[in-house]
């Protein structure tokens, strides 16, 4: 059965485009060596010319960050820095609509999602980092050795230094501020490289930081691509003290190689092939609604999204039918329309990749319960990178469709018979980012959640975040944890002081 997803009529024009997006170095807009075009995922229209940073611009950005680190910012007392970060949160809220417009134009995501998730979280990330640095403690020990010597040991926190912050396009501002706020809280200065697909909100944020009183050079922004462009120039730069990166696992691997000769620390939040497990005792209505959210939010372009769904056999048909029905109810359309639930994929190139997985799934013997292709949108939207929310059955864990990250609005359902089998199936992956367990049995919920080989294991919910809790992945999904004091561990270098008493 293939059901067409309804598209909404053209109700409003696209948000005002940003025409020229420049690098931001030492607080000033800076031209690049050339420009590249950014197109709207909504209708394919040209949105902006983006200035690509060359080696020289990256050198200037790193030098500016170094000077700011050695200036007042690096020496600012923690309490004062926390106050500045809270001012940034306030400034983000003052420029809320501008940030929403920038994010929506670049990604095509529904405006309501950009408001409720992306931009709201940007302000929250700064407030959370300010709170955490204000109360952060480090070790101190009164040491008494068997030979009678006594000493006071205590650690002091220092910034890691000039940090390269490289982020993807799916939640551009949210993921940038998730790194930027704790990096600045810890006294670092940064050079940010946003995705080539989403240059706008990072550029606007650099302006907002200046307005909030963050000194020039603390946050620099360079635009461009990875290999042979700003990304590579930054990760191989001798003036960069560490790299924090969110993106594909294969890019993480390239960045690791780039920093290896200089032995720089990395923090990686990478891809996922996340499982959900539905037991027959689950509240099925809640589970189906939760699965619809975890599969299709942001058009499946969230690293935490579910792509593998294991369902206990007695309820398999009910869950498959229920989820297909939810997928059919999604409304694709313009971001400004309040009824829109689902935007396009980020680009034609990414759509090509997702479609290639739909083809692969068919070759591997999948049944397509819903979707599986390109919707007809009409109303001038067919130049955009729209795709149908899709649901598959008939595959098993040996198929490539079940092993590789697709990063689109698609999941495949597989039946299981026992709890042990469900855990084994969920953990049968090279990734290890997130998992969800749906059950009414509380003991089972805890038991299964703890045995999931992932960084984040939810029970009867998904993507419910406490910003103080650890976030990150195992295996191909990343290195290290961010969130709360876990972020401070990456962004600071403790020095232990030992004083003989």
- Interface residue list for ligand NAD (CB under 6 A): 166-170, 175, 193, 195-196, 225-227, 231-232, 235, 246-248, 251, 254-255, 269-272, 303, 405, 407, 433, 473, 477-478
Q: 70 is written with which tokens? A: 């050695």
* Angle formed by the axes of helices 120-135 and 172-185, nearest 10°: 20
- Report the residue number, 197 or 419, with the smaller CB distance to ligand NAD: 197
**Catalytic (active-site) positions:** 269, 303
DSSP state for residue 315 in the 8-state scheme: G
Give the nearest distance from C-beta 251 to ligand NAD in angstroms: 3
Helix (H) or strand (E) holding 279: none
Give the nearest distance from C-beta 235 to ligand NAD in angstroms: 5
Euclidean distance between CA atoms 135 and 176, whole angstroms? 23
The helices-and-strands tally (H runs, E runs) of the chain is: 16, 21
What are the beta bridge partners of residue 243? 164, 266
Euclidean distance between CA atoms 357 and 351, whole angstroms? 10
Which residue is closest to ligand NAD by CB? 226
Give the nearest distance from C-beta 254 to ligand NAD in angstroms: 4
Q: 352 is written with which tokens? A: 């090509």
- Report the residue number, 222 or 361, with the smaller CB distance to ligand NAD: 222
DSSP state for residue 117 in the 8-state scheme: I
Closest of 500, 484, 446 to residue 129, by C-alpha: 484
Cβ–Cβ under 8 Å, residues 441 and 392: no
Give the nearest distance from C-beta 166 to ligand NAD in angstroms: 5
- Report the residue number, 219 or 433, with the smaller CB distance to ligand NAD: 433
Measure CA 153 to chain center: 38
Cβ–Cβ under 8 Å, residues 395 and 366: yes
Measure the CA angle with vertex 411, ends 406 and 415; round to 5°: 135
Cβ–Cβ under 8 Å, residues 53 and 224: yes
Bridge-based pairing of strands 367-370 and 266-269 is: unpaired
Q: Where are the alpha helices (DSSP H) in 330-441?
A: 348-363, 419-427
| Count of residues making up the chain | 501
**Phi, psi (degrees; rounded to nearest 5) at 135:** -115, 10
- Report the residue number, 123 or 166, with the smaller CB distance to ligand NAD: 166
Give the nearest distance from C-beta 477 to ligand NAD in angstroms: 6
Helix (H) or strand (E) holding 448: helix 442-451
Q: 50 is written with which tokens? A: 């983006």
Three-state DSSP at 193 gives strand
Give the nearest distance from C-beta 368 to ligand NAD in angstroms: 23
Give the nearest distance from C-beta 41 to ligand NAD in angstroms: 13
Cβ atoms within 10 A of the Cβ of 26, count? 17
Give the nearest distance from C-beta 365 to ligand NAD in angstroms: 26
Euclidean distance between CA atoms 74 and 76, whole angstroms? 6
What are the beta bridge partners of residue 24? 29, 221
């Amino acid at each position: 059965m293939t059901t067409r997803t309804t598209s909404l009529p053209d109700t409003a024009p696209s948000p005002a485009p940003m025409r020229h997006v420049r690098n931001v170095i030492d607080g000033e807009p800076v031209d690049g060596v050339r420009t590249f075009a950014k197109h709207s995922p909504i209708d394919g229209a040209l949105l902006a010319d983006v200035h690509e940073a060359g080696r020289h611009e990256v050198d200037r950005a790193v030098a500016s960050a170094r000077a700011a680190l050695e200036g007042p910012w690096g020496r600012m007392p923690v309490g004062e820095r926390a106050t500045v970060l809270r001012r940034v949160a306030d400034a983000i809220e003052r420029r809320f609509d501008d940030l929403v417009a920038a994010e929506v134009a670049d990604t095509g995501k529904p405006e309501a999602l950009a408001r409720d998730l992306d931009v709201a979280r940007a302000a929250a990330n700064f407030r959370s980092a300010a709170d955490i640095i204000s109360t952060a403690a480090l070790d101190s020990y009164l040491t008494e050795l068997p030979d009678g010597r006594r000493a006071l040991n205590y650690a002091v926190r220092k910034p890691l230094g000039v940090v390269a912050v490289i982020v993807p396009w799916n939640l551009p501002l949210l993921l940038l501020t998730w790194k930027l706020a704790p990096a600045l809280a810890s006294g670092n200065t940064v050079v940010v490289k946003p995705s080539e697909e989403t240059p706008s909100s990072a550029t606007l944020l650099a302006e907002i930081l200046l307005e909030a009183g963050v000194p020039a050079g603390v946050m620099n922004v360079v635009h461009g691509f990875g290999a042979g462009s700003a990304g590579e120039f930054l990760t191989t730069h001798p003036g960069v003290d560490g790299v924090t990166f969110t993106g594909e696992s294969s890019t993480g691997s390239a960045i690791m190689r780039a920093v290896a000769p200089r032995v720089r620390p990395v923090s990686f939040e990478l891809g996922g092939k996340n499982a959900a497990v539905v037991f027959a005792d689950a509240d099925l209505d809640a589970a189906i609604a939760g699965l619809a959210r975890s599969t299709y939010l942001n058009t499946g372009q969230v690293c935490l999204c579910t792509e593998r769904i294991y369902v206990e056999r007695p309820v398999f048909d009910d869950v498959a039918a229920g989820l297909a029905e939810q997928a059919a109810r999604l409304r694709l359309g313009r971001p400004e329309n309040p009824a829109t639930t689902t935007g396009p994929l980020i680009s034609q190139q990414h759509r090509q990749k997702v479609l290639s997985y739909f083809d692969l799934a068919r070759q591997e013997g999948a049944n397509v319960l819903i979707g599986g292709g390109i919707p007809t949108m009409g109303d001038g939207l067919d130049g955009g990178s729209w795709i149908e929310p899709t649901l598959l059955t008939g595959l098993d864990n040996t198929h490539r469709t079940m092993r590789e990250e697709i990063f689109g609005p698609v999941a495949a359902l597989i039946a299981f018979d026992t709890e042990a089998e469900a855990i084994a199936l969920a953990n049968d992956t090279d990734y290890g980012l997130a998992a969800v367990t749906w059950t009414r049995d509380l003991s089972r919920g805890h038991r299964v959640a703890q045995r999931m080989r992932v960084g984040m294991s939810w029970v009867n919910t998904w993507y419910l975040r406490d910003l103080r809790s650890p976030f990150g992945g195992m295996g191909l999904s990343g290195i290290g944890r961010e969130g709360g004091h876990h972020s401070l561990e990456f962004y600071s270098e403790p020095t232990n002081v030992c004083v003989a008493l």
